[in-house]
Amino acid sequence: MALKVSRRTFLKGAAAAGGVAAASAFLYRNLETLAGPEGEARSSAAPSEEWVPTTCWIGKQDCGILARRIGGRVVKLEGNAAHPRNLGTLCPKGVAQISALYDPNRVRTPLIRTNEKGIPGQFRTASWEEALNLVASKIREAQAKGAKTVIWQKGRSKSGPLYDNAFTAALGAVKLHHGAFCSDAGYRASEYTLGLNGVLHPDFKYTNLLLSWGWNITAGGGNKLCWITFPRQLVEARERGMKVVHIDPRLHSAGPHADWWIPIRPGSDLALALALIHQVIAQGSIDRAYLVNYTNAPFLVQEDGTFLRLEGKEQVWDEGSGAPRPYDAPGVRPALEGTFQWQGRRLRTAFQVLKEHVQGYTPDWAASICDVPAEEIRRLAKALAENAQIGATISLGGKVLPLRPVAIHTYHLAQQELGFQATRAMAILMMLLGSPGAVGGQRVDFTWKIHANFQKFGEAKLANPPYNIWLENSEFFPINSNNSAIVALALKDPEAWKVDKAQLPQVMIIHMSNPLLAFGSSQDILEGFKRIPFIVVLDAWISKTADLLADVILPASTLEKYEGPLSATDQYVDAVALRLPVMDPLGESRGELEIYLDLAERLGILDKFIENINKELNLKAPNTLPKGRKPTPREIFDLWAKSQGLSEGIAYFERNGVWVKGEIPIAQQYGYAQDPPFGGIRHRLYGESLLLMQRQMQARGVSEIFWRDYTPLPTWRKPTMEQSPPQYDLYLISFKLIEFKQARGTNLPLVAELAPAQRLWMNPKAAKARGIKDGDEVWVESHNAVTGQTKRAKVKVFLTEAIRPDTVGLPHHYGDIARHPWSEGQGPGAAELFFTGPGYIANTADQSFLVKVRVYKA
């Protein structure tokens, strides 16, 4: 614990302590100071000053930047006031990234490995010519062996249309997502349930009660916007009167912005959501009109769990005729609840099935599982019902819309074994209250465009083996988030996972990613990826992955490149931006787009790449790229800007940085305001196709561990980690610090100085019981309840009263992220202690960042 010091001195904080030193006689001249420009007088006669707009390179939300250039030299990065997301401000990483421009530790030339893989690399410098020819020849060799032997691992891709789509399609590469690290189970649950791509976030302009569930609202932002925008909207909403219920084992993730902290036991979120569903139904606080008209709640479910279909159409119980009728029949009056006998069959509405399903999930039942008093759960359910104002409407933009100002903000919570179903249960809770798509209600994406997965997941089609390297549509994971940790397991044992031998990767392109630290189980990733014969890494530094695994490193630039287009919306204003080079790239580094254009030329796929760019960027004649000639990145974005209707082309962005198109019309903002509402789909309260997938998995003899969570309604079971022996008496959770939220920010000295070393967050009571004091070095040993395997890492302890006593936490993005004086020796990465594989991944192949551990003094 921090030392208690007197009031007079404690405010001195970080100031150097010490008594009075002998006065140094530095008098009026020759003071040693920063070196100025050579030959330049120290005066205010500064050379030319200019402000160059660009877009941040670090985080995921791409904030607008103005680079101050003096005499051609970038001296400071400030926020662009015109950018809706950051309004002239920047987060610590955004400000600090100026050091990346001049970092002497950057990779400045292509590097070719000269020693074996799996150990720190020895590299020789090479010309672009040599390095690209080598990469091209390896790709050609691989493709001669099989069409799908080149895989592309993305990290934070900054131009989906150009990299993920146009280039990889031209190359015929198998794409690996940056994936499960980022709550993809939550994305899949939202796509499945509401048809929208995202996790859950509020309508900050109108939400009155926000459940900040398991995620960093103040240090992490949200699933769609990483920082600045959501925290700013949160502050404004709280000043308007919005209340925040923070459901998280750790308080720092909301800090003073939590009005009510519910320190839930890790991994029990599904149980709490089910108890809230139980309680909301018991209270009768449900939005019947929404459930009947826009969800499958009134659909009739047969005894076998499938919907009653007549002539291929789902049926509801028509209260008018007292018989089943198609749900969309004119004049039909569907019953929301009830059990009906019809032609000797027992039929229940999906809502009735849910009601019976949650009968035992009472607040008292959940209290012991979640370690949250039953009374508190009842109080929360009551607050939800009161704030939902079911039946209320509001007039916005000339439309009368339902007002349901309650919402959940969740994101990385999905990174747990039960993450898919936990997120689904949260969505169902909001559905009962009528919140999705209402004003102040539940949002998921910035658009109500229905994601292709909504239909796909509804079809419940499983592919026959053999499978591709990420087990797409497989019997193991019919819904699959493309998690690289699973790829690593499949690489280690292709037979067990029924992988097509002809598709085993020969070449891997790692695009601005550091999989050894980004995915669960660094060890599995290392062992798996070592089996790929040739790996090329595009990065600005020698990342740990590059150090241990790269055959070739291609030096990528940071802010010194063209990239985009980048969304700039804050969810209320529509805007788009580009990343523009603020100076010439350091050394021989180059933007990824240029690298891919060169590589495409060498591979003879340039025309295909250009054709794909024309399509993906929606370039319109006469502003399309001609084939047969390698375009410059500036030319590509110029044509894109012109195709978007900006007659001056890229010059518009070179002047303004961002194109603000104006307020998003109400008609596009709310699900209810769509025509037809919610894009014409029925939200899936009941997941019939999950049950169909489960039955197919069972029929194929797949182990229960894979199919047990494919249930039509979220069903509680104890997480696998609870089977670890009792000496593993603590839960390990992981999270992110605002200073350190992105791996590519950790090499920035100014942010590394703020959080220079890994610390195990631990409650003082738990520490005392183990004889541990603040700052002590300890071993954290994790246990895999399925395989019995253990792993341990040594780390210093940080004692905090803001975490549950049965829980310890490690922030991500430590673990010697790259060869850099500021990131080497920072301590272990959280991913070193987690496990990958059955029991530690969700049913949708997403990584779980939860495990039982024991902690003892080192």
Site for other proteins in 98-117 (CB under 8 A): 98-99, 101-105, 108
Residue 297 contacts residue 712 (beta carbons within 8 Å)? no
**Toward other proteins, which CB reaches closer, 76 or 718?**
76
Cβ neighbours for 848, distance < 8 A, ≥ 6 positions apart: 415, 416, 417, 419, 520, 719, 834, 835, 840, 841, 842
Quote the DSSP letter at residue 513. -
Residue 507 contacts residue 542 (beta carbons within 8 Å)? no
Residue 80 contacts residue 65 (beta carbons within 8 Å)? yes
- Binding to other proteins (CB under 8 A) within 538-577 occurs at none
Cα separation, 635 vs 605, whole angstroms: 19
Nearest approach in angstroms of CB 768 to other proteins is: 12
- Binding to other proteins (CB under 8 A) within 145-184 occurs at none
Residue with tokens 């700052």: 775
> Judged by CB under 8 A, which of 573, 646, 705, 750 binds other proteins?
750
Taking alpha carbons only, the member of 184, 329, 189, 180 closest to residue 687 is 189
Interface stretch with other proteins, choices 37-45, 266-274, 493-501, 694-702 (CB under 8 A): 37-45
Nearest approach in angstroms of CB 433 to other proteins is: 27
Cα separation, 838 vs 299, whole angstroms: 34
**Toward other proteins, which CB reaches closer, 228 or 444?**
228
Cα separation, 8 vs 6, whole angstroms: 5
Interface stretch with other proteins, choices 310-318, 465-473, 563-571, 821-829 (CB under 8 A): 821-829
- Binding to other proteins (CB under 8 A) within 188-247 occurs at 218-219, 227-228, 231-232, 235, 238-239
**Toward other proteins, which CB reaches closer, 184 or 248?**
248
Question: Per the structure block, which two tokens stand in for 146?
Answer: 């099989």
> One symbol per residue from 759 to 788: x for binding other proteins (CB under 8 A), - otherwise; what is it?
----xxx-----------------------
Residue 354 CB: number of other CB atoms within 10 A? Answer: 26
- Binding to other proteins (CB under 8 A) within 240-299 occurs at 251-252, 255-257, 261, 263
Residue 299 contacts residue 292 (beta carbons within 8 Å)? no
Interface stretch with other proteins, choices 52-60, 441-449, 606-614, 755-763 (CB under 8 A): 755-763
**Toward other proteins, which CB reaches closer, 328 or 584?**
584
Q: Rounded to the nearest 10 degrees, what angle do helices 269-283 and 363-370 cross at? A: 160
Cα separation, 409 vs 384, whole angstroms: 14
Cα separation, 351 vs 674, whole angstroms: 25
Cα separation, 817 vs 842, whole angstroms: 26
> Judged by CB under 8 A, which of 1, 310, 452, 858 binds other proteins?
1
Residue 275 contacts residue 361 (beta carbons within 8 Å)? yes
Quote the DSSP letter at residue 250. B
The answer to whether residue 76 forms part of the interface with other proteins (CB under 8 A) is: yes
The answer to whether residue 131 forms part of the interface with other proteins (CB under 8 A) is: no
The answer to whether residue 753 forms part of the interface with other proteins (CB under 8 A) is: yes
**Toward other proteins, which CB reaches closer, 44 or 343?**
44
> One symbol per residue from 825 to 844: x for binding other proteins (CB under 8 A), - otherwise; what is it?
x-------------------
Cα separation, 238 vs 244, whole angstroms: 8
Q: Rounded to the nearest 10 degrees, what angle do helices 184-194 and 452-459 cross at? A: 80
- Binding to other proteins (CB under 8 A) within 378-397 occurs at none
**Toward other proteins, which CB reaches closer, 374 or 583?**
583
Nearest approach in angstroms of CB 658 to other proteins is: 17
Site size toward other proteins, by CB under 8 A: 109
Burial 56-74, CB ≥16 within 10 A → b, else e:
bbbbbbbbbbbbbbeeeeb
**Toward other proteins, which CB reaches closer, 120 or 255?**
255
**Toward other proteins, which CB reaches closer, 5 or 452?**
5
Taking alpha carbons only, the member of 565, 551, 547, 560 closest to residue 590 is 560
* Pairing of β 339-342 and β 552-555: unpaired
Nearest approach in angstroms of CB 771 to other proteins is: 19
Interface stretch with other proteins, choices 44-52, 405-413, 573-581, 778-786 (CB under 8 A): 44-52
